[in-house]
A and B are shown apart, each in its own frame.
Chain A
C-alpha cells in the first residue's frame, strides 16, 4: 500500500461532511492542520438546500432563503432519502419544501428546475449529485486545483444501499469517493489528529446533535484504533426541535397582540422558521437575542426579543431528550458514566451551552466535555466531521482503490477484542491492588508497556499478570466503610481513585483470573520495573519483565487457545 496511482491523473482529495441540514468541505492545509473551506458566500456550514428560479440553480444559504417564497421548487433535507425505498422514508422534514414522491424504486422531487413551466421529476440521487457538484466547485475555486476525490462522512446506520447510492451520486458529480467514514469516528479523529493530541486508551462518547436528527455513539479508542461499541439514534430530535420552541414562543406572543396565529399561514411559518433558527443560534453565543420579521402575517411586522434563561426554561424538555439519548447510548454499551473519559459534542446544535452543561452534570468530574461552552480549546462542533474526513482523505489520497477496498474489507476490520482488562496485581502487606495495562475492548494484536515502582527496599520482585474486571462500588456517604479484606490471591478489592468524602460511586478493579507470574531478581532499591505485555489475535501472550535500565529481561509466552 502507499504506491501512488500509476498512470492516473493526479488526485486531489478533500473531506466532505454531507448532512441533512448542512454540509461542509475541508482540506488539510500545507502546515498539516485541518481547515474548513468557506464557499463563495463565505459560509463554512453550507445549507444542504437547492432551489430553482427560472431554471437557475441556487445553493446553500441563497437556496435556503427561497424556502419562503419559492418553497415548491426548493429541495432540502434529502440526505436520508438517498438509496432508500419511498415507503421507508419519513417525509416530515420536507413539509415546508418540495415534497418527496415515489419514482420507481426511489424517491424523487417534482420541481421546475428549467425555464419551462412544467415541473420535472428529479431523483434524490440527481439532487445529491447537483449538491455535491456545487460543493466540489466551491472547493476547487478556493484551492485553485481541480478537486476530484473525497472522503465523505455518513451516519453509523447508513445501509449498504445508501452508501452505494452516495458513491454513485458523487461519481456523477465528478468526485471519486475514496472512502465513506462514519461521522462519530470522524469527530474523534478531528481531535486526535491535532498535533498536540497524544494517543491514549479512552472511551469516548460522541454526541452528534444535528438539525433534524441526533446520533450518539460510544467509541473505544485503543492505541489509535477505534471501535464503535454502541450507537443510539433519534430521528426527530435536533436543532429543529429547539427552533420549534422559539417559534411557538414568538407565535404566541404575536397571537396575543394581533389575534392571528402566524403558524397557520404557510409563508408566515416559513419566515418564523428561518428567523427563529437564527435567533436560536444567536442565543448560543449571547444571552439575549432578537427576532424581527417584516410582514409576518396579514402585513403586520413583528419584532421581539428573548433571553437565554427564558429559552432554556422553555426548552427544558427538549434538552432532557438530548441528555437521555446520551445516557441511552452509554447504557447500550453496557457501560457506566464513570467509564467515559471524554464526551465530544459534534453537530451544529452542540453549540447550545445548556446541553453541554447538562452533560457536565451527568458525567463525573474527570470526564472531559469537549464543547465550546465547557472547554475553550474545543473545536467548533460544526466542523468536526469535515475535519476528520479531510484528515482521512490526506491519509488515503495516494492509495489505489483496490488497496483501500482490501483494507476496509471485513477480513481486516473484524478483529478480536479483549473482553476483559489485563493488568498487573500488586500485593502489599495490607491490600492487593490491580492496575489495568490493556483495557477491555482493545483490538488484537496489541502491545503495552508500563513502568511500575518496585518495593522501596528492592530485592526480588514478583509480577503477577492477571485479568481484571471493573466494578462500580457504591459507598454510603456517611462514615466510609473501608474494605479491609485480607490480601487474598484470588479475590481482592482496590479503589484506584483518591476518593473524596462525598463521592458515592467509584470504579473498583477486581482481579478475576491470574495469567502468569514472573520474577525479577535483585532489583535495586527505589528502582522501577518495566512490564511489557503483547497479546496475539489468538489470545496467546508474550510477557517480558525487566528492571528499568537493566539489561536482562525475564520473558515467557502463553499459547493462545483459539
Chain B
C-alpha cells in the first residue's frame, strides 16, 4: 500500500498496539527444530547467537 499523505513517524516506525495474550501450550520434544529450540532455551541464547556458534 502506498504511504498516505501526511504520515510520519520517528525513524519511519510507529507502534500502534501490542499482541493479545499468548496461550501456554506444551510443545512436543521431537524433531531437529525442537532440539535447536531446547538448546537455545537452556543456554538462554537468541536465534542469532545460536547461528554464530
Residues on A facing B (Cβ under 8 Å) = 1, 179, 181-182, 185-186, 189, 192-193, 199, 219, 223-229, 388, 392, 395-396, 406-408, 410-420, 422, 425-428, 441, 443-445, 447, 455, 457, 459-464, 467, 512-521, 534-535, 539, 541, 543, 554-556, 558, 560-562
Contact = CB atoms under 8 A, between A and B. Distances in A.
B52 interface: no
Given A461-B1, A517-B7, 20 more contacts: A181-B30, A226-B27, A407-B42, A415-B25, A416-B22, A416-B24, A418-B22, A425-B1, A460-B3, A462-B2, A462-B4, A462-B7, A464-B1, A516-B13, A517-B14, A517-B16, A519-B7, A519-B9, A534-B47, A554-B11
Contacts of B34: 224-226
A139 B26 CA distance: 33
Contacts of B16: 514-517
Given A226-B34, A459-B3, A462-B3, A416 B23 contact: yes
B3 A561 contact: no
Nearest to A457: B2
Interface string B1-45: 111100101011111111111111111111111110111011000
A330 B52 CA distance: 40
A516 B20 contact: no
Contacts of A192: 31
Contact of A395 (B3, B17, B35, B41): B35
A227 B34 CA distance: 11
Nearest to A224: B33
Contacts of B35: 1, 395-396, 407
Nearest to B40: A445
A158 B38 CA distance: 23
Given A185-B28, A227-B27, A516 B3 contact: no
A189 B42 contact: no
A195 to B, nearest CB: 13
Contacts of B22: 416-419, 444, 539, 562
B16 to A, nearest CB: 4
7 contacts: A181-B30, A227-B27, A419-B22, A441-B25, A457-B2, A560-B18, A562-B21
Given A407-B38, A516-B16, A460 B26 contact: no
Contacts of A445: 46-47
Interface residues of B, number: 38
A426 B2 CA distance: 9
A406 B24 CA distance: 19
A521 B13 contact: no
A180 B13 CA distance: 47
Contact of B19 (A1, A229, A467): A467
A513 B41 CA distance: 30
Nearest to A408: B29
**Interface residue SS majority, chain A:** strand
Contacts of B14: 516-518, 556
A514 B17 contact: yes
A189 B11 contact: no
B28 A182 contact: yes
B31 A460 contact: no
B19 A422 contact: yes
A392 B3 contact: no
A192 B30 CA distance: 12
B13 A420 contact: no
A560 B22 CA distance: 11
A407 B25 contact: no
Contact of B17 (A1, A224, A515): A515
Contact of A223 (B2, B7, B33): B33
B3 A407 contact: no
A224 B31 contact: yes
Interface pairs A-B: 8 shortest CB-CB: A224-B33, A556-B13, A416-B22, A460-B3, A407-B38, A408-B29, A226-B28, A519-B12
A395 to B, nearest CB: 6
Nearest to B29: A408
A534 B12 CA distance: 18
B28 A228 contact: yes
B9 A467 contact: no
A407 B29 contact: yes
- For B7, B15, B39, B46, which residue has the most chain A Cβ atoms within 10 angstroms? B15
Nearest to A193: B31
A541 B20 CA distance: 12
A225 B13 contact: no
A519 B47 contact: no
Contact of A521 (B12, B15, B32): B12
A445 B36 CA distance: 12
Contact of B1 (A226, A462, A467, A539): A462
Contacts of A519: 3, 7, 9, 12-13
A561 B4 CA distance: 30
Contacts of B18: 515, 539, 558, 560-561
A520 B7 CA distance: 12
A408 B34 CA distance: 10
Contact of B2 (A395, A410, A459, A518): A459
Contact of B47 (A226, A447, A555): A447
Nearest to A534: B47
A419 B23 contact: yes
Contacts of A521: 3, 12
Given A462-B2, A517-B14, A418 B30 contact: no
A506 B35 CA distance: 36
Nearest to A537: B22
A463 B1 CA distance: 7
Contact of A179 (B2, B13, B17, B29): B29
